[in-house]
Chains A and B, each alone.
Chain A
Amino acid sequence: NAGVTQTPKFQVLKTGQSMTLQCAQDMNHNSMYWYRQDPGMGLRLIYYSASEGTTDKGEVPNGYNVSRLNKREFSLRLESAAPSQTSVYFCASSGRSSATNEKLFFGSGTQLSVL
């Protein structure tokens, strides 16, 4: 019963490098999310996907792109990493709609450092 799986767990990049954070869920959830967590800032939504084939910007989308590859997978790409993107990144998923007020399930996070 894996839930939400994120890879990698840790990553160090140099400024300007690119990378993709992978996320997969096995709960047949429609909605998936990418958050970043910074000290004193709480969780901030980067992008979300309400269903397969759709993605939308959240609060802090600049510098990121996403792909909802299929219902299971939602990846986050940093095309040209900057030190301001040093953070802990969480992927999450939830059930079908706001009608059911489903809780979010979170992955264990990716700690990213950009030097």
Chain B
Amino acid sequence: GDSVTQMEGPVTLSEEAFLTINCTYTATGYPSLFWYVQYPGEGLQLLLKATKADDKGSNKGFEATYRKETTSFHLEKGSVQVSDSAVYFCALSPPLGGSYIPTFGRGTSLIVHP
């Protein structure tokens, strides 16, 4: 079945450091790929998405490129801020035609120090 693998956290960085959170997936067909972010005490919210190979999703300075050849969707940000401290989840959409149940990774906690 479909699966998403994320790097384990926590990832601890100083403010203004470069961020990469790795995400690889296994899926049938051509899923859409998503990054969700969960701030402390809140539910998940969509950060960015990409719907086909070579698409780049971007939002709030974060970027991720859909790489079909490496089945990856790594999240990057050039300069992190303390306010980016959160848990980040990679996810993929299910095959067309069935019930809409996305597959989530286990989440990666990011801690940014001043």
Contacts and interface: CB of A to CB of B under 8 A. Distances in A.
B58 interface: no
- Which DSSP category, helix, strand, loop or mixed, fits chain B's interface? loop
Interface stretch (B18-26, B62-70, B72-80, B92-100): B92-100
A98 B94 CA distance: 7
Size band of the B side of the interface?
20 to 34
Contacts of A101: 32, 51, 93
Given A40-B106, A101-B51, A103-B34, A109 B97 contact: no
A50 B93 CA distance: 15
Nearest to A50: B99
Interface of B: 32, 34, 36, 41-46, 49, 51, 89, 93-102, 104-107
Interface of A: 4, 31, 33, 40-43, 45, 48, 50, 56, 58, 90, 92, 94, 97-99, 101-109
6 contacts: A43-B104, A94-B100, A105-B45, A109-B41, A109-B42, A109-B43
